[in-house]
């Protein structure tokens, strides 16, 4: 097994779904009005410290991580479904830095510690 202790990855949160433009029009309803639903929230990218992991080898080969988008709204006041969050498990003691500024963003020093990256 290869030991990898430094990787560069790219993360992106999911986009929210589009809302729906819909109007209620029925024969015996005098003033129907709008009834479109809101779009669902996009998923977040979350880093979690995992004591079972010892290396960042998984992230060496898969560098781009994108959370899913929320679903679109529908008529009849139906809101879109929110997307699930993407959980990235990393070894305890992982330091997350910004690549451009070298600024330390978080130190995941405890098991189960979570940090929302995007």
Distance CA 38, CA 81 (A): 9
Q: What's the 3-state SS for 3-71?
A: CCCCCCCEEECCCCCCCCCCECCCCCCCCCCECCCCCCCCCCEEEEEECCCCCCHHHHHCCEEECCCCC
Does 92 have pLDDT greater than 80? yes
pLDDT digits (tens, 9 = 90+) for 30-53: 777 777 777 888 888 899 998 998
pTM of the model: 0.75
Fold of 1-19+33-117: Spo0b-associated Gtp-binding Protein; Chain: A, (2.70.210)
Q: Where are the domains of the chain?
A: 1-19+33-117
């Amino acid at each position: 097994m290869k030991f990898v202790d430094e990787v560069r990855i790219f993360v992106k949160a999911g986009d929210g779904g589009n809302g729906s433009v819909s109007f209620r029009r029925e024969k015996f309803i005098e003033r129907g009005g709008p009834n479109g639903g809101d779009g669902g929230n996009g998923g977040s990218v979350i880093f979690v410290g995992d004591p079972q992991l010892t290396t960042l080898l998984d992230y060496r080969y898969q560098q781009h991580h994108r959370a899913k988008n929320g679903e679109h709204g529908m008529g009849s006041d139906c809101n879109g479904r929110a997307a699930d969050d993407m959980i990235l498990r990393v070894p305890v003691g992982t330091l997350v830095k910004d690549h451009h500024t070298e600024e330390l963003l978080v130190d995941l020093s405890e098991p189960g510690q979570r940090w929302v990256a995007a």
